[in-house]
């Protein structure tokens, strides 16, 4: 029996951390595997706000290993953001999602075949109305607010060029961004060059699909070659990751024209980044909400035809609700996260942020599917029917809350009923104290390398900080610390304004 077996998890971690602090001067000198465990154990215990009794292991040691003669510890192992943690190990390279797709293909079964696109009536096709015959609005502003699928139809019909459309959106970005703070980097030169290429392809008879020539923006958590990827943090303002994220590659292959890296709250927390807070274009006194603040604001203001956001805990849904756009938070694993910042391995998702449901479906149809670079990804069928009978739908309605005033709630409910949909009132989802703990623990691992770097840069002894503050941390946006400290105190910061992750 270990001397620590009768202690709860928090007490174990703190006692072990004292021993580490007593023999090591700086965190950079500590056996990284051991130190990270102690940090995460303390974070987990303080986040959940209770002391979980640990299971005794016969003949084993408590947290951190046994006493007595030991072999020298292994050298520190840097845990970089984006490096899969141990529980994501997949025996098949690329993950089981890629294995499933390969197996089906070898058997000649097209279970995961991507839905084809057609402007006309084609059985089984992703069909939209043939808007290419419709006249375009007279003003650039009205053109900018058109759905992406209507813009795509106009480009295909030769009524609009990608260069002309890209210039409209770039002009809006440059004019509105100083107020909205929705874009970190405006990619004017590259965007115009790509738009010219798309126009040349149309003239040559090459058509890539409904997103051919459509300008868009990506949340600045995703790497793009030759362009800074900041994660909303001033430390990374000029950092360039020399690769293209998978979602960027797929949209480029579909003909979409990337014109901006859109703002995110620092490290995907809230709506504030190193130049300020991103604003809701319909109410400049209000944050657009985070952390996909930029895609929400830029799409609502028609600075881009659509955006790509991410969600760990509300970061697609919240900006979409705040800014009044249509967005899709996909099921976990439906879209590859390769090349993007990791906040929580088990919860991060990538999804489209658009102005119409049809646009969300078009973009999702391009970006979804398994990717060997993301072991958590998989391919499953996706079918969109724009002619669904609304009267056959049931929709859940949460009971009244402060964010939905009575008049708005009632008007929306009346409208849905008038369209034939059947509302089903639902209570609030169950609340679990400390439910943010999983995100906190996973993000602690994801940012280990950065935290260690900053500790050395600032001359901070992290082992001492662990023992001094570890027992007083709040639960980063949920629950209370072990001693009743407010959420977000000391040990784990809260989510800032709006939603975190």
CA distance linking residue 217 with residue 174, whole number of Å: 14
Q: Hey, which residues are catalytic here?
A: 219, 291, 315
Confidence of residue 475 (pLDDT cuts 50, 70, 90): very low
Q: Determine the pLDDT at residue 126.
A: 66
Q: Please give the average per-residue pLDDT across 321-350, as a whole number.
A: 95
Whether 210 shows a pLDDT value over 50: the answer reads yes
Q: Determine the pLDDT at residue 87.
A: 55
Helical spans, DSSP H, in 231-335: 246-253, 293-300, 317-323
Fold of 96-387: Amidase signature (AS) enzymes (3.90.1300)
CA distance linking residue 466 with residue 48, whole number of Å: 17
Whether 347 shows a pLDDT value over 80: the answer reads yes
Q: Determine the pLDDT at residue 341.
A: 97
Q: Please give the average per-residue pLDDT across 135-158, as a whole number.
A: 95
More confident residue, 431 or 183: 183
Whether 8 shows a pLDDT value over 70: the answer reads no
Q: Determine the pLDDT at residue 22.
A: 41
Packing angle, helices 148-156 and 188-203, rounded to 10: 50
CA distance linking residue 158 with residue 173, whole number of Å: 25
CA distance linking residue 481 with residue 483, whole number of Å: 5
Phi/psi at 103 (5° precision): -65, -45
Q: Domain residue spans in the chain?
A: 9-81+434-472, 96-387
DSSP 350: E
| H/E run at residue 467 | helix 462-469
Q: Determine the pLDDT at residue 466.
A: 65
CA distance linking residue 421 with residue 33, whole number of Å: 54
pLDDT in tens, 19-44: 444 443 434 444 544 454 455 445 54
Q: Determine the pLDDT at residue 291.
A: 96
The 3-class secondary structure across 194-245, one letter per residue, is HHHHHHHHHHCCCCCCCCCCCEEEEECCECECCEECCCCCHHHCCCECCCCC
CA distance linking residue 413 with residue 422, whole number of Å: 10
pLDDT in tens, 382-423: 888 877 888 888 888 776 654 566 777 778 888 888 989 988
Whether 259 shows a pLDDT value over 50: the answer reads yes
Confidence of residue 120 (pLDDT cuts 50, 70, 90): low
Q: Determine the pLDDT at residue 217.
A: 99
- Counts of helices then strands in the chain (DSSP H, E): 15, 14
Q: How many other C-beta atoms can be found within 10 angstroms of the C-beta atom of residue 422?
A: 12
More confident residue, 122 or 153: 153
Whether 173 shows a pLDDT value over 70: the answer reads yes
Q: Determine the pLDDT at residue 127.
A: 66
Q: Determine the pLDDT at residue 494.
A: 32
Whether 470 shows a pLDDT value over 80: the answer reads no
pLDDT in tens, 266-307: 999 999 999 999 999 999 999 999 899 999 999 999 999 999
Find residue 354's DSSP bridge partners.
326
Q: How many other C-beta atoms can be found within 10 angstroms of the C-beta atom of residue 93?
A: 9
pTM: 0.76
Q: Which residues of 59-75 are buried (b: 16+ CB within 10 A; e: fewer)?
A: eeebbbeeeeeeeeeee
């Amino acid at each position: 029996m270990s001397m620590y077996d009768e202690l709860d998890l928090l007490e174990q971690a703190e006692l072990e951390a004292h021993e580490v602090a007593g023999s090591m001067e700086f965190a950079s000198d500590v056996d990284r595997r051991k130190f990270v465990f102690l940090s995460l154990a303390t974070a987990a215990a303080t986040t959940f706000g209770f002391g979980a009794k640990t299971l005794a292991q016969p003949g084993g040691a408590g947290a951190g290993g046994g006493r007595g003669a030991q072999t020298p510890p292994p050298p520190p192992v840097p845990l970089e953001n984006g490096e899969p943690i141990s529980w994501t190990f997949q025996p098949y390279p690329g993950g089981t999602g890629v294995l499933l797709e390969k197996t089906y293909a070898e058997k000649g079964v097209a279970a995961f075949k991507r839905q084809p696109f057609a402007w006309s009536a084609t059985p089984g096709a992703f069909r939209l109305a043939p808007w290419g015959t419709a006249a375009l609005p007279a003003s650039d502003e009205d053109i900018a607010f058109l759905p992406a699928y209507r813009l795509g139809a106009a480009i295909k019909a030769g009524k609009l060029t990608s260069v002309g459309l890209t210039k409209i959106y770039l002009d809006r970005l440059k004019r509105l961004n100083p107020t909205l703070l929705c874009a970190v980097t405006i990619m004017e030169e590259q965007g115009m060059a790509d738009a010219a290429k798309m126009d040349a392809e149309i003239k040559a008879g090459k058509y890539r699909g409904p997103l051919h020539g459509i300008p868009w923006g990506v949340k600045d958590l995703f790497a793009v070659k030759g362009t800074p990827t900041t994660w909303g943090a001033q430390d990374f303002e000029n950092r360039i990751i020399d690769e293209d994220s998978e979602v960027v590659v797929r949209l480029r292959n579909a003909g979409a024209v990337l014109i901006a890296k859109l703002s995110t709250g620092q490290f995907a927390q809230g709506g504030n980044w190193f130049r300020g807070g991103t604003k809701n274009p319909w109410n400049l006194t209000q944050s657009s909400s985070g952390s996909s603040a930029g895609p929400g604001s830029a799409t609502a203001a028609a600075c881009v035809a659509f955006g790509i956001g991410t969600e760990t805990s509300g970061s697609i849904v919240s900006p979409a609700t705040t800014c009044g756009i249509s967005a899709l938070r996909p099921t976990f694993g439906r879209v590859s996260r390769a090349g993007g910042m990791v906040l929580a391995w088990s919860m991060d998702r990538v999804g489209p942020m658009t102005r119409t449901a049809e646009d969300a479906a078009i973009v999702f149809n391009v970006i979804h599917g398994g990717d060997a670079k993301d072991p958590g990804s998989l391919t499953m069928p996706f079918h969109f029917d724009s002619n669904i009978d609304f009267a056959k739908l049931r929709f859940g309605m949460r009971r009244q809350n402060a964010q939905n005033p009575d008049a708005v709630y009632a008007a929306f409910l009346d409208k849905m009923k008038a369209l034939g949909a059947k509302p089903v009132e639902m209570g609030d989802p169950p609340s679990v104290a400390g439910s943010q703990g999983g995100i906190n623990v996973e993000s602690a691992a994801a940012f280990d390398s950065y935290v260690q770097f900053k500790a050395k840069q600032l001359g901070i002894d992290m082992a001492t900080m662990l023992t001094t503050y570890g027992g007083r941390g709040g639960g980063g946006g949920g629950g209370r610390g072990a001693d009743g400290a407010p959420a977000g105190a000391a040990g784990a910061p809260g989510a800032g304004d709006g939603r975190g992750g």
